[in-house]
Amino acid sequence: MIILTLNCGSSSVKYSLWEMPGAKPLCQGIVERVGMGDSTLTHKSVSNTSKNQEVDCPDHEAAIDLIFDVITDSESGVVSDLSEIEVVAHRVVHGGEKYTHSVIIDEDVIGAIDEFAILAPLHNPNNLLGIRMAQKVMPSVPHTASWDTAFSAAYMPRHTSLYAIPYKFYAEYGIRRYGYQGLSHSYVAKRAARLLGRNRSEVNLISLHIGNGSTVTAVKKGRPYDQSLGFSTCGEGLVMGTRCGDLDPIVPLFMIQHANMTHQEVEDVLYRQSGVFGLSGGYIDRRDIISAASDGDTRAQLTLDVECYRLRKYIGAYAAALGGIDAVVFTAGVGENSPLHRQLACQDLDFLGIQLDRKVNNSAVGRQSEVDISTVDSKVKVFVIPTDEELVMVEDAAAIIEDRFDPDNFTYSFEQPGYVPSYLRF
């Protein structure tokens, strides 16, 4: 069974091809900086064919066209025709309370993706675009949806998921904290338990997914207990690429009443003009911010300070909420590749038992391996674990097609001894 994954993020589209059973990766790649200029396509296959090139990519539709071309290209592709693909697995950000585990995509699922786009305007519309394009080209194969909200929405307890507003707003409108980036947090939490040599039900940890979108999840005995991002993908939690994170709810009202802004203008500011972009004055890529700060740019340095303080604050808060932790995990683009962010996030947390090995941390850059960056005597382990959302999607899709999917009891290949991360096979 050949499975294609499509993962349409806010500024990137990831893809991969897999052969099942056995979760054998055939190729993987990403189109980055979609709609931002200076877009790039990176493609790798198991045959050691690779591409890394600048591309013209004004929107997600162009990115998906590029992907279909590269996977069928006579030189770099791994299938001769898209008809060889038997299943397409899609990452979808928001499924509300209606969808809390992976499913076959039908008209009801399409409707839910569109319905919940109001809560994930940077993601659900792009997810839906990817689904429609893939269904148009491959109409006769099953398509599955793996929901980014599912991991947290399914398992967070009521007292951590409800807001202190009149209960009717939850009962009538579903206003609650859902949590996001669950595919990533699910993967790294299970990998961390394996690295600790313990069952997932025995482990408390804090997982930090830091990228253009950023979230932190508190995992208690293997299950999500709390998450930094709540009802929407914008106004809670960590500082993100263009989104604000934690914000006094009166601020948007103040903008409307006193800055003479429309609702749409405020939404645009909070979703697309805030975060590190708004603070720094135009940077989104953290490498650019670090470089500018090292050159004396005070706004860039302030941006770095604000972002990393927020990371550190959430680690401390969630360590208290969990009553102690076994590990802290960094993942995603910034979490995997920025030693400075990891260092500043763990700064002065010795009292929690977190001690970073500076030398190992500084050397842990890129998708080279899973790395323990804590000192030998650190009571809390600190891991860098490259995430693999696509593998979660593939395993879910195969299990659904083969009618063996059980979201509560399903065991993934990456929880087993001897598992080799897919990125090490290229």
Distance CA 410, CA 150 (A): 15
Pairing of strands 12-19, 24-32: antiparallel
Q: Is 288 in contact with 301 (CB distance < 8 Å)?
A: no
Distance CA 147, CA 143 (A): 13
Distance CA 399, CA 346 (A): 38
For the chain, helix (H) and strand (E) counts, in that order, are 16, 14
Q: Rounded to 5 degrees, what are φ and ψ at 197?
A: 75, 30
Q: Is 49 in contact with 64 (CB distance < 8 Å)?
A: no
Distance CA 369, CA 423 (A): 9
Distance CA 320, CA 163 (A): 20
Query: What's the length of the chain?
Result: 426
- List residues with catalytic annotation: 148
Q: Sign of the C-alpha dihedral, residues 318, 324, 325, 328?
A: positive
Q: Which segments of 121-214 are extended strands (E)?
A: 143-147, 205-209
Distance CA 31, CA 328 (A): 29
End-to-end CA distance of the chain, in Å? 20
